[in-house]
Every structure is written in structure tokens, then in C-alpha cells.
């Protein structure tokens, strides 16, 4: 990824500078679309189609304003990174939704057992069992108490790679109080009587305040190590050690804003990249993340991740041991109140995103599709979107996204996963959330 890929595919949407100008222009009373349509504030034809004297009064002011508009949200364009920017994309064809279960309360993660049934987490702290085509009425017992607060609660679930023989289940969850809480990892053994022997086997070494940015996706790798995402702790003015807590994403001394790699007992994986480095947490595998919400493995062993930006600048990345993904020093994100968060969008030594979503779609679960239920979808990445209530389908050429479309779900998508039957399953993030299955339909 050394050069900015050409936006040859129309489905990749408009490049960022154009949409940025449009968006910022819309924010401005000085350069509204209607004023632009009337030819006001910009050089060229006036509203009657007669060429004005050039330069006309106000032109220099307009030019100055346009320059500011270009510089404000993105930093200087000559410093722009090589990541392609995704905006609006067309609708995917050839699919429909089937509702499998309703009245799941803010479901977050799903894992299938060898018998084809599935375990589903609900953020308030319940683990549900979907089997024989329906949701068991009673939740599975044996979970530790969870802090359900804001974005926190019971989050993802993963089965041990040897689940068939050891029945071990892993969940990420939040412990503590609204003022002092942390992301943690629990492990228990699934039996007919619920989870047994459940224990907290890892927890963030530091507590934080507030309801934001806990992570926490789980993904087992082929070597049976477990990846776990931890968010940066939250937006300003949330602070840690006297500064914005988000700055901790660059601090190897804390778990905030990192991907961790653990052994199946929750201890650091022995060949992790920062083991032995003074002051570094040994669990850290990658750093510089805001809040990774989706992790997926592809058949080549690459680990894909999507994470929330602030205002714009959501990212798709490929994770590599020891790499720094930049947050909050290198980013395409803006503060919620407007200005760019980082001076740079790209920097030597910082991993550039594979794709940036601006405006933010609020990415959630991520799946690399390997099945054959849908014509033409094998090898595509599927990325859920909370804000846009959709799933993005990404067509890849190796590590490049070459086309993108969307499956509009009409509900906040918390997770999208491939089931053992080769279908894609969806969890929706609502008080009465649903388990959905995507079915192929004849192309119209």
C-alpha cells in the first residue's frame, strides 16, 4: 500500500476531498448548496449565465474560505495518506432476510456449537441458547455479574478451538462501576447445567470512568492464541493520567486502545511482540486503535479488523504483530465538534488503513465469507454498521478493496457472522433485537 489506489470502481464512492468539501460547505452559512447553485461565492457563471468581471468582488474571500474548508477537516492534502475513502455505495442484489429470533435484548456476539446450535450474548449480561430453530426461554446460568452501562456489558463470545473435547467458552465483558470499570475476559465450561467453573482469566490492568469504548471482540487464531480488542477508554473530556484517555492507545504501558493476544488461560502469549520491553504490557499485540469492533480471519491467515473513528475516519485494517495503527496521532477522524483530531493521516512507521469510511458507518462485526450459498460472494468481507443499519460487502483483490456495496438491514447491525451451514447471520442492536439469516434470491 504505497500509492493511493485509483477510484476506478464507481462502487467505492466519491473520494474524500469532494465529499469533505460538500459536507463542510453545508456546515457553512457562507457556502450553502443553494448559494453554490446560484453561483454565489464561487468563481464562474453567475445565476443569469452571464460571465462576471473576473475577479469579482468577494472572490478572494471565497477562495480563502474554500482553502480553509479544504484544510480544516483533513489536514494538508499534500500529506494525505494512501487509504481509499468509502462514502455512498450501491445496494447489493440477490438476497433477502429471514427472522429467526426476536426479543433478544441488545445481542452482541454469537458462536456456534458443534451440534449446530448457537450461543448468543445479550449486552445486559445474559447468555442465550438458540437451538432447534428457537431461543431457549431461560438464559444459561453461571456467568459472573456484568456492568451493563452504556456501551459496556456482556460483549463477545468465542469457543475454544478444542471445544468439542473441553467445552470451554470465552466471553468478553465489563466489570466494575460506572465510575471505575474495565474490560475483562471470562472462561467457563458449558454443561447441561449451565457454565461451570467460570472465572475471570484476564482484565484490563487499569480502570476507567464512563460508558464508552470497551472493545471487545474475540478471535481465536489457528495457533490457538486468542485476540481480544480493548477500546481507548472514551472521548474527551474523559481523562487518564492527566490527559485525554484516548492518548493511551499509544502507551504500551496500558491495555487501552490495543489488540491483545492471549493464551487460552488468559496469560500473555509467549512470543508477543513487546514481551521483555520495559514498561510494556506483555499481552499487547497491536496498538493505536480507537475501538475495534470486528475481527475476522481469512484463509491466508490475515487478521482483518474494523474500528470506529470519531466523526468520519472509521477504518478497516489488516493486523500485524507489533504494528501501530496510529490512533489518535494519525487518523482521518474529526472531533465531533469539527476539527481534525490528528495532524497527519499517514506517517512512516504507522500502518495505513486498507479502507476508510467517511462519513462514519459505525462498524461492528466483521466476517470473511468462505461459503458458497450466495453467487459471487465467496472471498468477500462483510462489515456490519450500527449507524447506517446495514452491512457493507467488500470485494477484495488480495489486501485491496476493489468494490463495495451494502445490504440495508433497517436495524442497527451489531454482528454479522458466517454460520456452519454457510449462511450469513446477523444480530441487531435493539432492546428487542433479532437474529436474522441472509438468504439468496434470484437476481433481478
Name which of 147 and 394 has its Cβ closer to Ca ion: 394
216: cis peptide before it, omega within 30°?
Answer: yes
Name which of 11 and 358 has its Cβ closer to Ca ion: 358
Cβ-proximal residue to Ca ion, closest one: 326
Q: Residues for the chain: how many in total?
A: 444
- The mark string for 262-301 relative to Ca ion (x by CB under 5 A, - otherwise) is ----------------------------------------
In which residue are the cell numbers 435493539 written? 430
Q: CA torsion angle for 384, 390, 394, 395 (degrees, to 10)?
A: 140
Name which of 315 and 404 has its Cβ closer to Ca ion: 315
Beta carbon of residue 313, minimum distance to Ca ion (angstroms, whole number): 8
Q: How many Å apart are CA 4 and CA 14, to the nearest integer?
A: 14
Stretch of 46-54, 55-63, 152-160, 312-320 lying at the interface with Ca ion (CB under 5 A) = 312-320
Report helix, strand or coil for 382. strand
Mark whether 213 is an active-site residue.
yes
Please pick, from the candidates 108, 240, 325, 388, the single residue that binds Ca ion as defined by CB under 5 A: 325
Beta carbon of residue 314, minimum distance to Ca ion (angstroms, whole number): 10
**How many Cβ atoms are within 10 Å of 264's Cβ, its own excluded?**
18
Name which of 273 and 326 has its Cβ closer to Ca ion: 326
**How many Cβ atoms are within 10 Å of 196's Cβ, its own excluded?**
12
Beta carbon of residue 258, minimum distance to Ca ion (angstroms, whole number): 13
Beta carbon of residue 349, minimum distance to Ca ion (angstroms, whole number): 12
Name which of 202 and 325 has its Cβ closer to Ca ion: 325
The active-site residue out of 77, 160, 213, 431 is 213
Beta carbon of residue 152, minimum distance to Ca ion (angstroms, whole number): 23
Name which of 257 and 268 has its Cβ closer to Ca ion: 257
309 binds Ca ion (CB under 5 A): no
Stretch of 21-29, 113-121, 311-319, 397-405 lying at the interface with Ca ion (CB under 5 A) = 311-319
Beta carbon of residue 383, minimum distance to Ca ion (angstroms, whole number): 15
Longest dimension (CA), the chain: 84
How many residues contact Ca ion, by CB under 5 A? 3
Beta carbon of residue 415, minimum distance to Ca ion (angstroms, whole number): 22
Please pick, from the candidates 75, 215, 282, 326, the single residue that binds Ca ion as defined by CB under 5 A: 326
Q: How many Å apart are CA 58 and CA 41, to the nearest integer?
A: 7
Alpha carbons within 13 angstroms on the beta-carbon side of residue 236 total 11
Which residue(s) pair with 392 in the sheet?
383, 406
Contact of 172 with 184, CB cutoff 8 Å = yes
Give the Å distances, CA to CA, from 396 to 323, 332, 339.
22, 22, 32
Name which of 330 and 407 has its Cβ closer to Ca ion: 330
**Which residues, 6+ apart, have CB-to-CB distance to 101 below 8 Å?**
120, 130, 134, 135, 434, 435
**How many Cβ atoms are within 10 Å of 145's Cβ, its own excluded?**
8
Burial of 237 (0-12, 13-18, 19+ CB in 10 A): exposed
Query: What residue ranges bind Ca ion (CB under 5 A)?
Result: 315, 325-326
Catalytic residue list: 213
Amino acid at each position: 500500500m504505497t500509492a493511493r489506489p485509483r477510484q476506478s470502481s464507481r462502487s467505492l464512492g466519491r473520494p474524500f476531498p469532494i465529499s469533505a468539501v460538500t459536507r463542510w460547505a453545508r456546515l457553512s452559512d457562507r457556502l450553502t448548496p443553494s448559494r453554490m447553485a446560484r453561483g454565489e461565492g464561487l468563481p464562474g457563471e453567475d445565476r443569469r449565465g452571464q460571465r462576471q468581471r473576473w475577479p469579482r468582488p468577494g472572490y478572494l474571500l471565497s477562495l480563502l474560505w474554500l482553502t480553509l474548508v479544504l484544510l480544516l477537516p483533513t489536514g494538508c492534502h499534500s500529506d494525505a495518506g494512501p487509504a481509499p475513502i468509502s462514502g455512498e455505495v450501491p445496494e447489493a442484489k440477490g438476497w433477502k432476510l429471514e427472522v429467526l429470533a426476536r426479543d433478544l435484548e441488545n445481542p452482541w456476539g454469537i458462536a456456534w456449537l458443534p451440534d449446530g446450535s448457537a450461543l448468543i450474548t445479550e449486552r445486559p449480561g445474559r447468555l442465550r441458547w438458540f437451538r432447534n430453530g428457537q431461543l431457549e426461554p431461560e438464559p444459561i446460568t453461571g456467568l459472573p455479574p456484568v456492568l451493563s452501562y452504556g456501551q459496556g456489558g456482556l460483549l463477545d463470545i468465542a469457543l475454544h478451538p478444542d471445544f468439542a473435547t473441553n467445552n470451554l467458552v470465552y466471553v468478553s465483558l465489563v466489570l466494575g462501576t460506572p465510575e471505575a470499570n474495565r474490560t475483562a475476559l471470562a472462561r467457563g465450561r458449558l454443561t447441561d447445567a449451565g457454565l461451570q467453573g467460570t472465572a475471570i482469566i484476564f482484565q484490563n490492568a487499569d480502570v476507567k470512568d464512563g460508558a464508552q469504548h470497551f472493545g471487545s471482540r474475540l478471535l481465536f487464531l489457528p495457533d490457538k492464541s486468542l485476540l481480544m480488542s480493548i477500546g481507548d477508554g472514551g472521548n474527551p473530556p474523559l481523562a487518564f493520567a492527566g490527559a485525554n484517555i484516548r492518548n493511551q492507545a499509544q502507551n504500551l504501558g496500558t491495555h487501552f486502545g490495543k489488540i491483545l493476544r492471549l493464551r487460552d488461560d488468559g496469560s500473555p502469549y509467549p512470543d508477543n511482540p513487546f514481551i521483555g520491553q520495559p514498561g510494556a504490557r506483555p499481552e499487547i499485540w497491536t496498538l493505536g486503535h480507537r475501538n475495534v469492533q470486528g475481527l475476522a480471519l481469512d484463509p491466508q491467515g490475515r487478521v482483518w479488523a474494523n474500528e470506529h473513528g470519531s466523526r468520519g475516519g472509521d477504518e478497516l485494517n489488516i493486523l500485524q504483530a507489533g504494528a501501530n495503527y496510529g490512533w489518535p496521532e494519525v487518523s482521518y477522524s474529526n472531533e465531533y465538534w469539527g476539527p481534525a483530531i490528528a495532524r497527519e493521516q499517514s506517517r512512516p512507521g504507522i500502518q495505513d488503513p486498507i479502507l476508510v469510511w467517511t462519513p462514519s458507518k459505525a462498524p461492528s462485526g466483521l466476517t470473511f465469507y468462505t461459503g458458497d450459498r450466495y453467487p459471487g460472494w465467496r472471498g468477500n468481507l462483510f462489515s456490519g454498521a450500527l449507524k447506517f443499519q446495514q452491512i457493507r460487502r467488500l470485494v477484495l483483490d488480495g489486501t485491496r478493496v476493489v468494490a463495495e456495496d451494502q445490504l440495508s438491514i433497517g436495524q442497527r447491525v451489531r454482528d454479522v457472522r458466517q454460520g456452519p451451514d454457510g449462511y450469513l447471520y446477523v444480530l441487531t442492536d435493539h432492546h428487542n433485537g433479532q437474529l436474522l439469516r441472509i438468504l439468496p434470491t434470484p437476481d433481478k
